[in-house]
């Protein structure tokens, strides 16, 4: 029996989750996503995590999980073990879109090395996963890979400079994974790492005495006007006080993701045509614009925030049976959940500057209520933490693995279109 048939038959095709973790370059822009395939909770005893079965299931359903939809313009890092490398189904992956990440469990036998060399001839690029030491086995694979991933949690801090130097001496690009703090990122920058994976960019670094800037405050005040149901004239006047925000707003509302059809030329037209719901949404996105510059929709923090917003909105439509009001509040929870990282301020201080519904505040501050439960699920999914706690939370929300994956694909696609069309 072929390897791919064995792998796919060992797990129902709908019983897995997709986690997508950003990989950044030295300029802090997105360059790739690592795709992690995790078995649903009830299949955990089969240990079907990043191995053959999960990879085979995904590849065999490539038409459903089109890589362009999942990663957009970026590359996809995909874990492969020896069985996947030696199988035929790996050839179904597009070489120009993927980097095959050879797991640390792979033994560099002669047949395997020959297979990797053959796949390189076919245009595939390889990375070596979870390197914690420059061993003889690592050396055997080193000549066939372009990127080496170093697990920061597996390497002693004082041993990291020597390890990085020895691998860079072999002309390999280094990717630091599990980078969780700005200090770790800065160290890896100094050591010459090219790529960074981890959520250091989404961790709030609280700056004592940090104040909300006038531009940020203007957008928060606009959100308050919308919450207070102020008239259109008051809202239009407030928007026009900040020329850059007006320009950014018009760029965003004319993106394909806004689905407004005809081009909108003025702020008053934007307010009239979009309606309060969409205006509130684009203002929340505008919060992520650096003061004095256009909003960068390829910013990893903004991409993560907008992805969370759309995920929570779509989840809410399932959980609250198409209740549009709840869905909009869920979007607010998702996109505002990274405001503390954005503003470098505690979340409670930020919320003092904007009027939000009690259940939205409870979700943002304490992960309480249904919105808080959905946000917790999304945060766990980002980290590929799909164990028993995650599965139990999904069950309480009444969501299945298949529904979550479909929601993810729709959210990824929406954010991709937003980034492409408003660029």
Domain spanning 214-421 has what CATH number?
Answer: 1.10.3210.10
Outline where 123-213 has alpha helix (H): 136-142, 160-169, 182-190
DSSP H or E segment with residue 59 = helix 52-60
Q: Give pLDDT, residue 258.
A: 60
Provide the β-strand partners of residue 151.
Answer: 177
Provide the β-strand partners of residue 345.
Answer: none
The Cα 407–Cα 390 span in angstroms is 16
- State both tokens at 407: 């929601």
Provide the β-strand partners of residue 174.
Answer: 148
- State both tokens at 394: 């999904």
Closest CA to 196 of 152, 132, 139, 155: 152
- State both tokens at 222: 């606009």
Average the pLDDT over 49-53 and give the result: 53
323 Cβ partners below 8 Å, 6+ apart?
316, 317
CA angle 57, 7, 88 (to 5 degrees): 85
On average, the pLDDT of the chain sits at 85
The Cα 373–Cα 134 span in angstroms is 42
Q: Give pLDDT, residue 59.
A: 67
- State both tokens at 348: 């409670």
Closest CA to 362 of 351, 377, 349: 351
Q: Give pLDDT, residue 351.
A: 92
Q: Give the model's confidence band at 421: pLDDT under 50 very low, under 70 low, under 90 confident, else very high.
A: low
Start-to-end C-alpha separation, the chain: 48
Q: Give pLDDT, residue 224.
A: 84
User: What does the buried/exposed string (b/e) look like for 225-240 if buried means 16 or more CB atoms within 10 Å of the residue's CB?
Assistant: bbeeeeeeeebbebbe
Q: Which value, in Å, is the radius of gyration of the alpha carbons in the chain?
A: 23
The Cα 32–Cα 349 span in angstroms is 34
The count of C-alpha atoms lying within 13 angstroms of the C-alpha of 148, restricted to the half-sphere facing its C-beta, is: 27
| pLDDT 10s digits, 74-120 | 999 998 889 889 988 888 888 998 999 999 989 999 999 999 999 99
Average the pLDDT over 133-140 and give the result: 92
The Cα 265–Cα 270 span in angstroms is 8
| pLDDT 10s digits, 156-205 | 999 999 999 999 999 999 999 999 999 999 999 999 999 999 999 999 98
What interhelical angle do 324-336 and 369-382 show, nearest 10?
Answer: 50
| pLDDT 10s digits, 55-66 | 666 666 554 557
Q: Give the model's confidence band at 144: pLDDT under 50 very low, under 70 low, under 90 confident, else very high.
A: very high
Closest CA to 98 of 76, 81, 71: 76
In the chain, list all ranges with CATH 3.20.20.450: 3-202
Of the ranges 93-97, 168-172, 355-359, 401-405, the best mean pLDDT one: 168-172
Outline where 228-357 has alpha helix (H): 232-240, 243-253, 267-286, 300-319, 324-336, 339-343, 347-351
Q: Give the model's confidence band at 216: pLDDT under 50 very low, under 70 low, under 90 confident, else very high.
A: confident
Q: Give the model's confidence band at 220: pLDDT under 50 very low, under 70 low, under 90 confident, else very high.
A: confident
Q: Give pLDDT, residue 261.
A: 65
Q: Give pLDDT, residue 44.
A: 46
The CATH class for the domain spanning 3-202 reads alpha beta
Average the pLDDT over 293-312 and give the result: 86
- State both tokens at 52: 């053959």
In the chain, list all ranges with CATH 1.10.3210.10: 214-421
Q: Give pLDDT, residue 254.
A: 77
User: Residue 342: is its pLDDT beyond 80?
Assistant: yes
pTM of the model: 0.87
Residue predicted with more confidence, 373 or 271: 373
* 3-state secondary structure string across 336-373: HCCHHHHHCCCHHHHHCCCCCCHHHHHHHHHCCHHHHH
């Amino acid at each position: 029996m072929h390897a791919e048939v064995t792998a796919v038959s060992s797990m129902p095709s709908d019983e897995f989750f997709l986690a997508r973790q950003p990989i950044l370059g030295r300029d802090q822009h997105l360059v790739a996503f690592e795709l992690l395939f995790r078995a649903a909770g009830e299949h955990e005893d089969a240990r079907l995590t990043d191995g053959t079965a999960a990879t085979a299931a995904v590849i065999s359903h490539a038409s459903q999980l089109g890589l362009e939809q999942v990663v957009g313009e970026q590359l996809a890092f995909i874990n492969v073990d020896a069985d996947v490398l030696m199988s035929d189904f790996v050839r179904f992956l597009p070489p120009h879109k993927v980097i095959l990440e050879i797991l640390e469990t792979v033994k560099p036998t002669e047949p395997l090395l020959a297979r990797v060399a053959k796949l390189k001839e076919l245009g595939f690029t390889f990375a070596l996963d979870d390197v914690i030491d420059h061993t003889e086995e690592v050396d055997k694979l080193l000549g066939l890979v372009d990127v080496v991933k170093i697990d920061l949690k597996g390497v002693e801090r004082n041993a990291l400079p020597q390890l990085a130097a020895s691998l860079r001496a072999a002309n390999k690009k280094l990717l630091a994974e599990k980078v969780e703090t700005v200090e770790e990122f800065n160290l890896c920058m100094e050591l010459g790492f090219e790529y960074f994976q981890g959520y250091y960019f989404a961790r709030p670094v609280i700056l004592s005495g940090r104040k909300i800037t006038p531009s940020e405050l203007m957008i928060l005040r606009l959100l308050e006007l919308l919450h207070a149901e102020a008239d259109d004239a008051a809202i239009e006047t407030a928007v026009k006080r900040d020329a850059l925000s007006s320009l950014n707003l018009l760029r965003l509302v004319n993106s394909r993701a806004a689905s407004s059809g005809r081009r909108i030329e003025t702020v008053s037209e934007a307010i009239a045509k979009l309606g309060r719901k969409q205006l509130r949404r684009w203002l929340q996105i505008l919060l992520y614009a650096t003061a004095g510059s256009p909003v960068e929709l390829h910013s990893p923090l903004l991409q993560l925030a907008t992805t969370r917003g759309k995920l929570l909105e779509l989840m809410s439509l399932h959980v609250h049976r198409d209740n549009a009001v709840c869905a909009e509040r869920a979007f607010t929870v998702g996109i505002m959940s990274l405001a503390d990282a954005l503003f470098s301020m505690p979340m409670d201080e930020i919320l003092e500057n904007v009027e939000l519904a009690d259940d939205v505040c409870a979700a943002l501050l304490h992960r309480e209520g249904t919105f808080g439960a959905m946000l917790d699920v999304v945060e766990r999914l980002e980290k590929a933490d799909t164990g028993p706690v995650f599965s139990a939370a999904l069950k309480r929300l009444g969501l299945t693995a298949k529904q979550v994956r479909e929601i993810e694909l729709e959210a990824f696609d929406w954010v991709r279109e937003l980034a492409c069309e408003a660029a």
